[in-house]
Amino acid sequence: MKRLKWLLTVTLLALPLLSGVASAPAEALGASNELVLTKNSKTMVLNGTAYTGAQPLTIKNGFSYGSFSSMAARYGYTISYDAKSKESIARSAGQEIRFRMNTREYKVNGKKMTGPATSFSLNGSLMVPVRTWALATNSKLTASGTKVKLAWDTKPSAAFSVQPAKIYTGDPVTYIDHFSSPNGGPLQNEEWQGRQEVFLEPGVYTVTRKVQDITGEWSEPFTLTFQVHAPNQPPNADFRTDKEVYRIGERINYMNLSTDDSTSDLKEYWIGKQDVFFEPGEKSVTLEVTDEEGYASSITKTITVSNEVLYSREEYGKLFTDIGNIFPIDGKSVLNIPALSYDYHSEPSKLVRSNSPELWTSEGIAYDDQFEGEIRLLFHNKNTTNIPLRMYLVVTNEGWRTAQFGVKHTGTGGPAQYEDSTGKMSTVRYLESLTKNPPVKYTSVKPGESKVVLTEISAGAIKPGLVYSGYADVTSDETLRFRIIVVADGKDPLKEVNRMELMPADGKHTRGSFNNATRAIDIEGILGDKPERIVLGDNKLDPYLDGYDNTDGSLQLNRGNFGVLYKMNIRLAPRTLVAINPRGGLYTGAFLVNGTLVPVPKNGWLRSQNEAMVLYRSGNTVETLNLTYLIASGSNLPIAMLFQPLPEEKS
């Protein structure tokens, strides 16, 4: 402690020996200050004036060090020593900086901080890293050659902001203070120009502020310009149609003419609006618009529909319903459309359908078989236990050569509440994968090794009451045993698989392996010159696949042909409508139409025989239509594909 007192005494005694002014107060230094130190020199140049420091700028262990007392003097600090804490202290009106010998720690206004290097003693002077001093004083440090520069500002900042972000006349304005002072001192005085607590007229306003800190230094003016708006007014709702009187089945064009004083994109809500009406009379249509602050207005107008018929409801739907959307149809009349017979041929492919038991009531093995080559997997199950479950595909190499297991096309749906939703989404995503044709992702399976593969199906837990559907095209160059297992979420499937039992089939749904699972339907001639239909999934013209359940050797019928990939090439007459009509109840899924994905339907489901979905319309010449599809899990069969001449367009 005596040694530290002696160091401080020597340092303080050295101050009067410095040339120039011993302690230049901060307020006398100007708005911007620059102190230049030179390596191995005691000369310190402050804003062009030279001073002699207690010690030269010293380089130690790659860091530049300056005399604590000399740098503090140039900043206008007073210096003292705390014998109890053994700290050298530099104080200004609003800041206190403390350093100790042989440590990287320092304090600014009582807050502990750590610098990049350790202070030390040189010839009785406390030497501190220049970089640490810059951090403590909020100075900018630069180095060039043998010179080190410290730059700092002594003027406070008069910054402020206003709230709310959007100011209206008559509303109180809050001024948010962002004052700061280089020395950390408090605000002493301030001067405002243009400040108002309430602005009574709309317009652009400018408010200026100057501040003075505890040192007496005044800031540069800080100016803020902002818009004061007139009070928000409700929007003005308005619309018009292109005609005053419409015929039955004539499209109505609506033009929204609503305006607002501030919101450019108004929210709109229509009541009674239809693109077309099929009954005569006066039709009330209401438009309500809402601006971004919740102000709303509405307007109601009357549209007159005459007794003259332009299009019937069905004619209009056939002509103008968008691809993937539904139009009404007389379900009974569909049976009067001649049904075409057709042939098909199968392409070599194998399907494994894991759909029994459809309802999981416990953990277990859902399917157990062996395969080599390419197969298509189909999963469709519901968790009826009271715990979250995960489904895994575990493959085991029981041979003597390393196998390469690959995954190509996949599509999953769920977990979700409704089976038709999961069936639709898995079909949509699988067909979408076909369009992208991704590369095969391979996994090596060594002899005697078991691995979890096809991790897409085990990515998430299936909670109680939820349904999961999925397709996957997989391949293996060696024979692998594969087991589809269901375990409680959190368990290790590889530890569980060999002690799990096979789930018994439910006797209602399908579990098994099937060959010839890609079916090409051959349609002769040109369709669409007259109304015609093709019935799909009827188990007559389109018979279900025969297969077997390898877990018990039983024969299986792939009821519904779920998982079978269908391909069709059809020649269409000019101006032919191709539509899908469900005959067995709710139907959903997707088609690839000339390589473009079309969900069935775009939104929701086909629910009854009195609905049809537009799948395609041919142009003015003969066209070839290429279709690829699967029957989505959860859907009902059969379905009818309708081919009808489009009605003549009228004006």
Q: What confidence score (pLDDT) does residue 263 get?
A: 82
Rounded Cα gap, residues 180 and 213, in angstroms: 9
Rounded Cα gap, residues 23 and 70, in angstroms: 9
**CA pseudo-torsion sign 227, 229, 235, 241:** negative
Starting at the edge strand found earlier in the chain, the sheet holding 589-593 runs 343-347, 518-527, 565-572, 623-631, 589-593, 596-600
Rounded Cα gap, residues 379 and 360, in angstroms: 12
Using a cut of 0.75, tell me whether the model's pTM lies above it.
Answer: no
Record: fold of 160-229: Immunoglobulin-like (2.60.40)
Q: What confidence score (pLDDT) does residue 23 get?
A: 30
Six token digits for residue 111: 């807050």
Rounded Cα gap, residues 392 and 412, in angstroms: 14
Rounded Cα gap, residues 142 and 151, in angstroms: 8
Q: Are 334 and 640 in contact (CB under 8 A)?
A: yes
- Helix, strand, or coil (residue 165): coil
Q: What confidence score (pLDDT) does residue 25 get?
A: 34
Domain boundaries, the chain: 2-153, 160-229, 239-310, 326-346+518-645, 350-510
Six token digits for residue 174: 């809050």
**CA pseudo-torsion sign 183, 189, 193, 197:** positive
Q: What confidence score (pLDDT) does residue 16 get?
A: 30
Q: What confidence score (pLDDT) does residue 584 get?
A: 92
Q: Do domains 2-153 and 160-229 have the same CATH topology?
A: no
Q: Mind giving me the DSSP string for 516-532?
A: --EEEEEEEEEE-SS-E
Q: Are 350 and 474 in contact (CB under 8 A)?
A: no
The stretches of 75-229 forming alpha helices (DSSP H) are 130-137
Starting at the edge strand found earlier in the chain, the sheet holding 532-536 runs 326-328, 611-617, 576-582, 639-645, 532-536
Six token digits for residue 301: 């107008």
Q: What are phi and psi of 523, to 5 degrees?
A: -115, 125
Could you read off the pLDDT of 463-479 as tens digits, one per residue?
Answer: 999 999 999 999 999 99
Q: What confidence score (pLDDT) does residue 14 get?
A: 33
In sequence order, which residues have a C-beta less than 8 Å from that of residue 336 and are 6 or more positions away?
Answer: none
Q: Are 625 and 338 in contact (CB under 8 A)?
A: no
Could you read off the pLDDT of 260-309 as tens digits, one per residue?
Answer: 987 888 999 999 999 999 999 999 999 999 998 899 999 999 999 999 99
| Number of neighbours of residue 529 by Cβ within 10 angstroms | 14
Rounded Cα gap, residues 512 and 567, in angstroms: 23
* Unique residue bearing structure tokens 């297992």: 485
Tell me if the bond preceding 164 is cis, omega within 30° of 0.
Answer: yes
pLDDT lower than 70: segments of the chain: 1-31
In sequence order, which residues have a C-beta less than 8 Å from that of residue 432 and are 6 or more positions away?
Answer: 411, 597
Q: Mind giving me the DSSP string for 118-133?
A: --EEETTEEEEEHHHH
Q: What's domain 239-310's architecture?
A: Sandwich (2.60)
Rounded Cα gap, residues 99 and 117, in angstroms: 12
In sequence order, which residues have a C-beta less than 8 Å from that of residue 17 and are 6 or more positions away?
Answer: 52
Rounded Cα gap, residues 594 and 610, in angstroms: 27
* Chosen CATH of 2-153 out of 3.30.457.10, 3.30.360.10, 3.30.200.20, 3.20.20.370: 3.30.457.10
- Helix, strand, or coil (residue 431): helix
Task: For residue 351, give the nearest of 545, 176, 520 by alpha carbon.
Answer: 545
Q: Are 567 and 517 in contact (CB under 8 A)?
A: no
- In eight-state DSSP terms, residue 478 is E
Q: Are 588 and 647 in contact (CB under 8 A)?
A: no
Tell me if the bond preceding 25 is cis, omega within 30° of 0.
Answer: no
Six token digits for residue 560: 């519904």
Q: What confidence score (pLDDT) does residue 196 get?
A: 96
Rounded Cα gap, residues 598 and 612, in angstroms: 14
Rounded Cα gap, residues 290 and 266, in angstroms: 6
